[in-house]
Amino acid sequence: MLIVKVDNTLPALPHVGLASADVIYIEQVEGGLTRIAAVFATTLPPAVGPVRSARITDLSLFANYGTPAFAYSGAQPRLIPMIQASSLINVGAETTNIGYYRDPSRAGNYVESLMAVPSQLLRQAPHATGAHPIGFTFSLTPPPGGRRVSSLLATWPASTAAFTWDPAAHAFLVGLNGVPAALQGGGVDEATTVVIQYVQETDSGFVDERGNFTPLSHVVGSGTGLVARNGRVYPVSWSRPSLAAGTTFVGANGRPVPFAPGQVWVALVNVASPVAVH
């Protein structure tokens, strides 16, 4: 299994390789921006990117994935030993010069030109965990209840993510920061299931070069959220009792709300900023 940190700003588009991800997370970083973490467990694309830096939330967010390979470019100096001590296998760009390249078509933007080659990175992590349960359940059959939804809009101080139901595609079309989430080669990213996970955010003690604090999203514990699939949305409660435990999402009846098979997007949203549902 490979987890890749990917930029989520307008210059990062079109994204490379995200259509092959099993799960995609959106997490807040400094200045109210967000970053993407893409999990590849079943299919490896030829390349993924643009690759960007790691954050403190990654360590707890992916602790229940076992020992996945973790690809990123850059991290604060005191975060690197924490990555090394975590369950993640560090195949970051500062750790290895194999498995990364610069896309010449993005030569005018050095920050957005770094791409990862999943097959090469995983060869350097032969003991990386394969696909295994992390608390999610799946079913072709939608659960009863819920209500019809045409779109969801998640907001952070300087970023947005929109998910618009497309009956023809039988999926939610993804929009990032006000534009379609374009994929290299054409089309936009599609989510068969959208998870809104409301989390508490606190100051992690890390800051960027401008002095902006790095938020820590608390993904262990419990909270509320939404699960959207098949054009319907369901209020849920989430629970993750420990770092090693999976995250479960249950409905009002206390039963797990199954996800639709396909790509899952999980947006970690500050509990103080509820998502707009239409």
DSSP line for 11-55: GGPSBBSGGG-SEEEEEE-GGG-EEEEEEESS---S-BB-B----
Residue 160 is predicted with a pLDDT of 98
Q: In whole angstroms, give the CA distance from residue 191 to residue 261.
A: 10
Residues paired with 102 in a beta bridge: 114
Residue 205 is predicted with a pLDDT of 81
Structural domains of the chain in order of their starting residue, each with its CATH number: 2-123 (3.50.90.10), 147-277 (3.50.90.10)
Q: In whole angstroms, give the CA distance from residue 218 to residue 238.
A: 12
Please check the confidence at residue 207 and state whether its pLDDT lies above 80.
Answer: no
Q: pTM for this one? A: 0.97
Please check the confidence at residue 97 and state whether its pLDDT lies above 90.
Answer: no
Q: What is each CA distance from 68 to 58, 64, 113, in whole angstroms?
A: 12, 10, 24
Residue 206 is predicted with a pLDDT of 75
The 10s digit of each residue's pLDDT in 38-86 is 999 999 999 999 999 999 999 999 999 999 999 999 988 889 999 999 9
The 10s digit of each residue's pLDDT in 144-172 is 999 999 999 999 999 999 999 999 999 99
Instruction: With H, G, I as helix, E, B as strand and everything else as coil, classify residue 94.
Output: coil
